[in-house]
Amino acid sequence: MIQITILISFIPQLCRQWRLTLSAVAILCSLSTSFGLIHAQSSQRSLSFNFPGDTSRVPSTAGQFSAIYKQSAKSPDDFVFSIEDRTGKALVEHTFSRSVEGAWSHADANLYLNDFLGSTQIDCFVWIPQSKSLSSLTDALLRDPKSGPIEGRGAKPPETPENSRFELTCDGWKSKDKLLVNVEGTTWAGGQFKYKLVYDLLLKRFNWND
């Protein structure tokens, strides 16, 4: 009986301790969840860019490179897009007149850049850390016989910037080294066209995105 009485006397104290422990766990879980959401949202925002704009520098996923734009020193009507390393050295420079948009890949330092060249053409440029320059996907698609598309409808699109309003844009990352590519426009004869492709940055080839 004495042992039971002693045990009962400890119950309120144990309950208070458990309540404190559970409350602490709940607070930690809440803080962890909030931090994770904020970090994820921040990372998501930091990977994409739209120049010119309020932000002039956007780092890659791990921060080893940065996408930057500034006013051109040669022309007040132009801007210069560049990719810099941690030391501030410009690895790539690309002049644009209207606007550009793009994004770093989520798992690597690969980048795509949509350049709104004019009223009748948009082109997507790609870059990987091993590259010495940006590469035009319009040139790769239409002028490189080895670039594909290599599956399904094997022929290349007959439309070009010379015979149509030609808009080739990268619509996002399918994986860390594969891009979703959209090609659409209107020929000078009035015909409309639209193609869905996937571009492999490592193989430098297109596939149809059927």
Instruction: List, for residues 42-82, the tens digit of each pLDDT value.
Output: 444 459 999 999 999 999 999 999 999 999 999 989 999 99
- Domains of the chain, by residue range, sit at 46-208
The pTM of the whole model exceeds 0.85: no
Query: Residue 30 has what pLDDT?
Result: 52
pLDDT at 88 over 70: yes
Give whole-number Cα distances, 167 to 156, 179, 193, 204, in Å. Answer: 15, 16, 10, 20
Q: Tell the residue number behind the tokens 């766990």, with chain if given.
A: 25
Amino acid at 114: N
Nearest-angstrom CA–CA distance, 16 and 27: 16
Say if residues 170 and 122 touch (Cβ distance below 8 Å).
Answer: no
DSSP 116-162: EEETTEEEEEEE-TT-SS-EEHHHHHHH-TTS---SSS-SPPS--TT
pLDDT value of position 153 = 58
pLDDT per position as a tens digit, 184-207: 999 999 999 999 999 999 999 999
Q: Which helix (H) or strand (E) holds 4?
A: helix 2-47
Q: Check pLDDT > 50 for residue 14.
A: no
Of residues 40 and 133, the one with the higher pLDDT is 133
pLDDT of residue 35: 41
